[in-house]
Chains A and B, each alone.
Chain A
């Protein structure tokens, strides 16, 4: 028997998948022909999955330069009658916000679906933004799955709905959907492949003020139709319990916690539950039915009170005297859990939680001081460690010339290198958004007197680093911009980008050189360095900082994880370093205190290098004042 895969056309069969694979499968079943994305946790595996089967299934799949471009690629395909999708993490939707707000005026011809992967508790993000508000603003209907299976089904249905209503749809995932695992039942794969055709229609596609005014009412009309439909959509389900005093409205994934909570409390038959799969537009008829049948309501949803506010407005409008709870009992911060939902329901039903949560909290507090701090760290052999060390050393030298107490400022960005904020490197002063390092550096240059050295990664540079680089040239900002080029979008799983020379589907393409772009933008100081040659790298960065005007350094060295992988493939041995204990001054600790490499550890009163972790980068050997760190012989 052939093993089932994500592209198997085997309706009814069960497959164990990651949530993001399920989302990709839904799109495959719908016959998506164009998919575009920029990587971002927790969404990246969706496009990776599609890219892996693109050729086999005759789809066009691309990693776009950023989310705005990704969405525009999908929108264009939809305009031409082809089914298309764009996927991105929640903050990526901000980047795509501009076209998104006009796309809803356009609507859709080929099914058009935007997937937003929100990240409650900001596991891997700079904030916990609730993207449903962006959909609200743009009259974009949202489908929000309660499980991995539903994520697949909704994704497939979103294309159908989009074509039926000629409108763009959003599917909102969260970390515990995209990075959940589950068995799913496969559906049929649509083999329909359409040829795109562009029909010129300025009254539909050229957004002059007159066209905007003409098309807004049409958009609202479409939205009103969708508003009616959601009341009978199977993703919204009302279960009334006889004589129930409490009604629970549970949105998306919160529904699964709610089901477990009422079971745990043993009150399944005593509460009415409205499962919400479309928080926008809300199935108002179902909500009103529930409001009229109970005395109290609890709205359970992750992050902001999005559904809650709408339900309160409905109750007010219909004059229904029902007490509505939500964020007063369910946390507004972080992920929900069965425990959090259980506690909220227990308070409103006078039932007793089956576990002694207070005792467990006490246990957690008692245990916390015993636990070692295990933060994520730059990998052993990571080129960013060397780059950030060189940046710091060079900047401190220059800062002395500015005055006794002047500290250099290091605006940082989104990527692995933000881990450089931790001791001992402490080389990141701001992390805000993609490309934000260069933008913030521009602003700083006009208000403070200190060396300003901003850094971002290669993929981030292509994504959002070029406009602020041009800004620095145009407005004469005296800053140093360092691009940490490790030839990968490393944090999200090594996806290719315009600097790597190959595409999402593995085809060779033009490899853009960051130094060429910087020179073409008018930067007069552009140098490429190898961060593993610390002395030379530091001297070049120092020259860049001293240069009068914007300067660019490209610090180029392949991501250590990719390099290790490639070495294994080539059967090349990794030659680690070791510490000669006769030469090592045990009181010195420079290697540990300056670099914070996970491979250098203290054991039995000695400083040693873990030969299993060491990648042989040799940075520690370059900074050891006693020359005690030596490369092992093969």
Chain B
């Protein structure tokens, strides 16, 4: 049995972060695993930063990941991944969507957006490995940029670190979407999965 596997998903309101943890949690329960997690909703989601946590295993109790104990960080947006750098350790894996969402405060001249190189360097120093992909582009290949979150979910499964089978997560995706758009999402999942496998080779 798995003792503790901590997944942190970071992004921006509207990217489908919460849906990813719902799918992960449901699938983990189907596999008879213990799941804990939490998220920040409400005030914080109006275009603001969003984080969602999913923890799987017999040793997890609390809703939060202790600092430095994240196993996999899914960065839906580069600067939001950087914002959560203290959850990482040398044994963490980062899966990063390289497509930036620049906040309006940058246009207003109130803040600056760091370069991707700078973000990658910082995350690289803090973690064990980074898998980069342009998930928005991959999602468009699948048929809709709205499936960016499912591409990233596919990439997470591409690491083959999760104690959840591909069949189970695919079943959850099928069940979650109307029949008309489920195939696009399954395709997005597969493309994300393959992108991760390629990156790991």
Contacts and interface: CB of A to CB of B under 8 A. Distances in A.
A409 to B, nearest CB: 24
Interface string A133-164: 00000000000000110000000000000000
B128 interface: no
Interface in A142-191: 147-148, 175-177, 179-183
Contact of A596 (B36, B40, B108): B108
A367 B82 contact: yes
Given A360-B86, A363-B86, A372 B43 contact: no
Contact of A183 (B29, B39, B80, B106): B29
A230 B21 CA distance: 37
A376 B47 contact: yes
B85 A376 contact: no
Contact of A180 (B49, B63, B67, B79): B63
A423 interface: yes
Interface in B1-55: 12-13, 21-22, 25-26, 28-29, 32-49, 54
A276 B97 CA distance: 43
Interface stretch (B112-120, B179-187, B191-199): B112-120
B104 A597 contact: yes
Contacts of B54: 181
Contacts of B122: 367, 370
A599 B107 CA distance: 10
A124 B67 contact: no
A363 B85 contact: yes
Contacts of A342: 66
Interface string A224-259: 000000000000000000000000000001001101
A103 interface: no
Contacts of A419: 46
A371 B32 CA distance: 39
Contacts of A147: 36, 61
B34 A183 contact: yes
A376 B59 contact: no
B122 to A, nearest CB: 6
A81 interface: no
B76 interface: no
Interface in B113-139: 113-114, 118-119, 122, 126
A598 B106 CA distance: 10
B170 interface: no
B143 interface: no
A331 to B, nearest CB: 14
Interface residues of A, number: 63
Contacts of A363: 85-86, 126
Interface in B48-79: 48-49, 54, 59-64, 66-69, 79
A569 B144 CA distance: 18
Secondary structure at the A interface, as helix, strand, loop or mixed, is mixed
B35 A182 contact: yes
B36 A182 contact: yes
A175 B63 CA distance: 10
Contacts of A181: 21-22, 25, 35-39, 54, 63
Contacts of B47: 374, 376-377, 379, 598
A292 interface: no
Nearest to A44: B42
A257 B32 CA distance: 23
Nearest to B34: A183
Contacts of A374: 12, 47-49, 79-80, 103, 105
A26 to B, nearest CB: 18
B102 interface: yes
Nearest to B43: A124
A419 B60 CA distance: 36
A372 B103 contact: yes
A238 to B, nearest CB: 18
Contacts of A14: 29, 32
Interface in B78-114: 79-80, 82-83, 85-86, 89, 102-108, 110-114
A471 interface: no
B107 A179 contact: no
A118 to B, nearest CB: 14
A179 B69 contact: no
Q: Among the interface residues A177, A338, A371, A376, which one has the most CB atoms of the partner chain B within 10 A?
A: A371
B200 interface: no
Interface in A338-373: 338-339, 342, 355-357, 360-361, 363-364, 367, 370-373
Nearest to A254: B62
A567 interface: no
A3 interface: yes
A338 to B, nearest CB: 4
A337 interface: yes
A600 B126 CA distance: 34
A364 to B, nearest CB: 5
Contacts of B126: 363
A491 B43 contact: yes
A376 B48 contact: yes
Q: Among the interface residues B12, B42, B61, which one has the most CB atoms of the partner chain A within 10 A?
A: B42
A423 B107 CA distance: 12
A547 interface: no
Contact of A373 (B44, B61, B69, B103): B103
A260 B64 CA distance: 11
Given A41-B43, A42-B42, A372-B113, A176 B64 contact: yes
B42 A260 contact: no
Contact of A338 (B34, B66, B102, B105): B66
A257 B62 contact: yes
Interface in A562-598: 592-593, 596-598
Contacts of B28: 16, 183
A364 B35 contact: no
A277 to B, nearest CB: 15
Given A263-B59, A491-B43, A492-B42, A355 B104 contact: no
B192 to A, nearest CB: 21
A321 B12 CA distance: 52
A376 B62 contact: no
A209 interface: no
16 contacts: A176-B63, A179-B38, A181-B25, A181-B63, A183-B28, A183-B29, A256-B61, A260-B60, A337-B62, A372-B103, A374-B49, A376-B47, A378-B46, A593-B108, A597-B104, A598-B103
Given A147-B36, A373-B105, A602-B106, 7 more contacts: A124-B44, A181-B35, A182-B37, A183-B34, A355-B67, A361-B86, A601-B104
Interface of A: 3, 14-16, 41-42, 123-124, 147-148, 175-177, 179-183, 253, 256-257, 259-260, 263-264, 335, 337-339, 342, 355-357, 360-361, 363-364, 367, 370-379, 416, 419, 423-424, 491-492, 592-593, 596-598, 600-602, 607
Pairs of residues from A and B, 7 with the lowest C-beta to C-beta distance, nearest first: A124-B42, A41-B42, A376-B48, A376-B46, A124-B43, A180-B63, A338-B66
Interface of B: 12-13, 21-22, 25-26, 28-29, 32-49, 54, 59-64, 66-69, 79-80, 82-83, 85-86, 89, 102-108, 110-114, 118-119, 122, 126, 175
